[in-house]
Chains A and B, each alone.
Chain A
Amino acid sequence: MRIGRVAGTVVSTINVPIYENRRLLMVDLLDERGRDTGGYLICVDAVGAGYQETVLILDEGNGARQVVGDPNAPIRAVVVGIVDQLFVDGEVQPID
């Protein structure tokens, strides 16, 4: 799993049917201290994450298909949590 920050929403009209009525988020990837790594993932939102929120990402297909409830869904990355706090090396890391 990865930690990321919601950077925007991907708007798509033409897509594979499983993506209908699902929010697609642009999520910038963070390191363990909440710093930007330069990478990103497009994720399906499963928790209602908002703009600039720090989130927990699952980037693995089998679990992702379980989250969306379809064993044949072409989905790999899912936002599965909203991070309240990162505690690394005995310190709370700034995540906002």
Chain B
Amino acid sequence: MQLGEVIGTVVATVKYEGLEGVRFLIVQPLDRERRPVGRPVVAADGVHMAAPGDTVYFIGIREAALALPEPFVPVDHAICGIVDHVERP
């Protein structure tokens, strides 16, 4: 899993079956210092309430679909949680 920042939303009316009601957000992956790294990806929102500006952690490939109500859907990134903060003692 990796950190990311939600930078936008995607609106799609026509979607593959099973994706009805799933929100899609544009997520910029972050490095360990929370600097942008790599290209943004479109991720399904597994928590139903992530919004632009939120720092999130997201999961890639097959496991992404498991974060959604229907586990056999064509999704390759999904947000699993909204990060409050990262504790470094």
Contact = CB atoms under 8 A, between A and B. Distances in A.
How big is chain B's contact interface, by range? 20 to 34
Contacts of A43: 1
Given A43-B1, A74-B66, A12 B46 contact: no
Interface in A15-51: 15-16, 19, 24, 26, 28, 38, 40-43, 51
B76 to A, nearest CB: 12
B27 interface: no
A42 B80 CA distance: 11
Interface string B41-69: 00000110100000001011111111100
Interface of B: 1-3, 31-32, 46-47, 49, 57, 59-67, 71, 78, 80-89
